[in-house]
Amino acid sequence: MMVCQNCGQEGEFVYCSNCGQPLEAKRINLSHLLHEVSHTFWHLEKGILYTLKELAIHPGTMQKRYLSGLRLHYQKPFSLFAISATFGALVLFFIYHDAKEEINQFYKHYYFIVQAVMLPLYALITYLLFRSPKLYYAEALVMNVYMLGFMSVCIVPINILYLLFPEYVIQKLEVIFLISYNTWTYLNFFKGKPVWAITVKSIVSLVVSYLLFQFASNLVMDLFL
């Protein structure tokens, strides 16, 4: 019999029957830390890469699985967004570090901060447009956090093209991607409802979210740039 170092429960198996922690708490060394990092973020069957892969090929469906309780293999929504946004912010900083245009200065400094602040409003728009007894506001928030986390990664290769093409080309590519991915996600998440209604609502959602984001962006640029 061993005693759990976390809750004090006695047990004889590998994991504590009360709290789930391993009963044998080994000392932490560098090898242990590297193992934890690899399994938390980069394992192909669990963590951030697996979650991004699922968001790429099963958008909307992946969020439904997570909300239904299948959560073991997925990166948690807010940690995924934090990692994705940090990665995106660093890459955009290097892309636009010599840019003089105000919009590109905004991309470099404030884009992801504004997006993070706007997330509750994006979720509210989804919740109101697709209002249903089966949809909680918190669930709409989770769906949007995952969606924006994936988009935060995908705008990186699009903006890398800024090194080769004019700014208006990049903006058009972003709009095409956002409309396509946003609509695809909603169609999968609300599968079973009329396709035309979901498509219209997803476009309305994106337009309203875009207008709110533009308003917030202009406010930030007026204050800080």
- Listing DSSP states for 181-207 in one string gives HHHHHHHHHTBTB-HHHHHHHHHHHHH
Q: Which residue has the higher pLDDT, 62 or 214?
A: 62
What separation, in Å, do the N-terminal and C-terminal C-alpha atoms of the chain show?
64
Tell me what the mean pLDDT of segment 149-161 comes to: 92
Summarize pLDDT for 95-132 with one digit per residue, the tens. Answer: 887 777 777 777 777 888 888 999 999 999 999 999 88
Q: Which residue has the higher pLDDT, 150 or 22?
A: 150
pLDDT given at position 25: 63
Summarize pLDDT for 26-77 with one digit per residue, the tens. Answer: 666 777 667 666 665 555 556 888 999 999 999 999 999 999 998 888 988 9
Q: Answer whether 132's CB lies under 8 Å from 111's CB.
A: no
Q: Which residue has the higher pLDDT, 47 or 149?
A: 149
Pinpoint the alpha helices (H) of the chain: 30-37, 48-57, 61-68, 77-95, 102-109, 111-129, 137-160, 167-189, 195-224
pLDDT given at position 28: 64
pLDDT given at position 43: 56
Q: What is the mean pLDDT of the chain?
A: 86
* Cβ atoms < 10 Å from Cβ of 223: 8
Q: Answer whether 88's CB lies under 8 Å from 112's CB.
A: yes
User: Token pair 């044998």 is at which residue?
Assistant: 24
pLDDT at 209 over 90: yes
Cα distance between residue 149 and residue 89, in whole Å:
12
* Cβ atoms < 10 Å from Cβ of 70: 11
User: Which pLDDT band, with edges at 50, 70 and 90, does 84 fall under?
Assistant: very high
User: Which pLDDT band, with edges at 50, 70 and 90, does 134 fall under?
Assistant: confident
Instruction: Report in angstroms the alpha-carbon separations of 168 from 103, 172, 174.
Output: 11, 6, 10
Q: Answer whether 151's CB lies under 8 Å from 59's CB.
A: no
Q: Give me the residue spans of the domains in the chain.
A: 43-224
Percent of the chain surpassing pLDDT 90: 44
pLDDT at 221 over 90: no
Which amino acid is present at 80?
Answer: L
